[in-house]
Structure formats: C-alpha cells, structure tokens
C-alpha cells in the first residue's frame, strides 16, 4: 500500500457531526458525498480502478469523500463553491473565480494534479479533493448568489421545528435525509445507479467541464429561490412547508446521480491519459 493511503484515515463520524451544524458551508452531508462516490466507483473503467487502487490502496472512494471538509486551511474554503449572480447568464471566471479560488478552478487543478502528479501525496490529495469537489459542484447552493452567501445568510424555519437553520444547510443535509431511512449510502447508491439510463449518462457526460456543472447548479438555485418567491439578501427569513425536504427528492437524486456519473467519467479520462503517457515514455 502506498504511504499516502495510510494517511487517509479520517474520523468520518466527526465530519458528519460537523456538517450537521446549521450554517456550515460544506456541500452535501457526509452521506451525500459517500453516495456520489459509490455511484462513481461502480462505473469506473478498469484503468480508473487501477488508478484508484494505486493511490488509495484498499480504501474506497467513499472512504475519502468527506476528507476535504475536515481541512482547516482558510485558504481552501473558497474551493468548495462559486457564487454566480442570479442576474448573470452563467459562470464567468474573471467575475466569479478571481485568482482561481472557486470550485470550478479547484476541480480543474485537482484533475491535472492527479493526472500529472509524481508523488504519492500529490496524487492522494488530488484524488481526495476531486472526489469531494465534483459532488460539491452539484449542490445547487454551492453555485448560489453571493448576496446571501449561497443561502448561508437566509434563515429557514420549518413548521415542525423550534430552531431555524440556513437555507444552505437545508440543501447540504435536510434534503438528503429522506433518501436515507434505514439504508446505508452504499445501498442508496446501488439503487440510484441501477436506474441510471444510458441516455441520461450520455447527456451528463457530454461535457466534463466543471463550469457547465456550475451553470446547472446556478440555474437550479435560481429556481429554488423563485419557487419561494424571494431574492437572495442577508437577514431574510422564510418558512418552509413541512414536506419541503421530501418534495425535493427527485431533484436531489438527479444531482447525486449526475455527480457520480461525471466523477467516474473524469477518473476514466485521467487514468487513460496517465497510462498513455506512461506507455509513451517507455
């Protein structure tokens, strides 16, 4: 096992507890990240499986899916999201990702580092970031408007709850909860993966540009606010219906499925390019 694989152990239970805290800005809950990773792993090409095994040893993608949310470096916090103004036609790097500090650029850097990295640690870090950030890019409020920091400054009250949470937290964790029940993330991923139609997978992988994924999430974020009849603004308060999380299930499942399919496709491409480079160098 590579030395880097032994460094990958992380207290995932602690991650789950941290992400459950209202206002936390880590996309999807820990189970959500694991679902995406399991969907992806089931679809990997043989070359991608070799790459993952070489980097992670006997650990699975799901085992490292939440690692990036544990990093305490303030400099990497912007890597988890991008703010796309609702009035904009779409993502623009100069406006939305200055200095490359956003999820779009971070995914691109991680992919390049995994493909070209020469040390165990470089490749392990790159893979851990990539697994996490591809999922992040598919959480709609991680491409939300900056006026309320992607829903982090929009307070949400449920009719059946005593304490408010942020709208961002609702989309990190509350909307994933109805999928879980008594099932594990792997069981959910197997069910989701089994129903992915080839036509849907082909449409999702028609472009593997992270900017396009951000545009999709931004469009969904605009729709979510439109359905609530509000505009992003700090200090706003909205009451959600009791069944809001369950009503979003189809959207949540589609975003988790798309993220898993795309993550697998990205890893397939990276592994093929890396093996081709190794063959050419012989």
Please name which of 66, 97, 107, 86 lies closest in space to residue 213, comparing C-alpha atoms: 107
Helices (H), ranges, 80-230: 93-96, 103-116, 120-136, 167-169, 177-180, 185-194, 198-204, 210-228
pLDDT above 60 (res 274): yes
Name the band, by pLDDT with cuts 50, 70 and 90, for residue 9: very low
Please name which of 82, 67, 81 lies closest in space to residue 18, comparing C-alpha atoms: 67
Structure tokens at 54: 């070489």
Angle formed at CA 100 by CA 69 and CA 275, multiple of 5 degrees: 75
The average pLDDT across 7-18 equals: 34
pLDDT above 70 (res 165): yes
Q: Which residue has the higher pLDDT, 159 or 269?
A: 269
> Between the CA atoms of 56, 59, 63 and 65, what dihedral angle is there, to the nearest 10 degrees?
30
Q: What are the tens digits of pLDDT across the range 87-107? A: 999 999 999 999 999 999 999
pLDDT above 60 (res 6): no
CA 49 to chain centre: 20
Please name which of 261, 252, 268 lies closest in space to residue 196, comparing C-alpha atoms: 261
Point out the least confidently predicted range of 60-69, 199-208, 233-242.
233-242
Q: What is the pLDDT of residue 83?
A: 98
Mean pLDDT, rounded, of the chain: 90
Tracing tokens 């988890």 back to the chain, one arrives at 80
pLDDT above 60 (res 19): no
What per-residue string of b and e applies to 3-21 under the rule 16 or more CB within 10 Å gives b?
ebbeebeeebeebbeebee
Q: What is the pLDDT of residue 158?
A: 81
For each of the domains in the chain, give its residue range(s) and CATH number, in order of start. Answer: 30-281 (1.10.575.10)
Q: What is the pLDDT of residue 276?
A: 85
Enter the pTM of the model: 0.89
Handedness of CA 268, 90, 216, 181 (dihedral sign): positive
């Amino acid at each position: 096992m590579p030395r880097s694989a032994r460094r990958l152990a992380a207290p995932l239970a602690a991650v789950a507890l941290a992400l459950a805290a209202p206002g936390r800005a880590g996309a999807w809950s820990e189970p959500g990240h694991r679902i995406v990773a399991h969907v992806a792993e089931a679809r990997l090409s043989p070359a991608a499986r070799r790459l993952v095994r070489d980097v992670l040893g006997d650990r699975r993608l799901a085992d490292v899916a939440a690692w990036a949310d544990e990093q305490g470096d303030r400099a990497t916090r912007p890597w988890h999201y991008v703010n796309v103004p609702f009035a904009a036609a779409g993502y623009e790097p100069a406006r939305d990702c200055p200095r490359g500090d956003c999820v779009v650029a971070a995914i691109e850097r991680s992919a390049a580092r995994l493909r070209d990295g020469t040390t165990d640690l470089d490749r392990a870090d790159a893979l851990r970031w990539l697994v996490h950030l591809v999922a992040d890019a598919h959480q709609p409020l991680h491409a939300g408007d900056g006026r309320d920091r992607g829903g982090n400054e929009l307070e949400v009250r449920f009719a059946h709850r005593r304490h408010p949470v942020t709208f961002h937290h609702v989309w990190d964790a509350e909307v994933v909860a109805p999928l879980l029940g008594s099932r594990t993330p792997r069981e959910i991923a197997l069910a989701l993966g089994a129903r992915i139609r080839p036509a849907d997978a082909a449409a999702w992988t028609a472009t593997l540009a992270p900017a396009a994924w951000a545009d999709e999430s931004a469009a969904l974020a605009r729709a979510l606010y439109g359905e609530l009849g509000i505009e992003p603004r700090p200090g706003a308060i909205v009451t959600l219906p009791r069944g809001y999380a369950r009503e979003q299930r189809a959207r949540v499942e589609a975003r988790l499925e798309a993220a898993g399919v795309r993550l697998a496709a990205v890893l397939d491409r990276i592994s093929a390019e890396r093996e081709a480079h190794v063959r050419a160098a012989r």
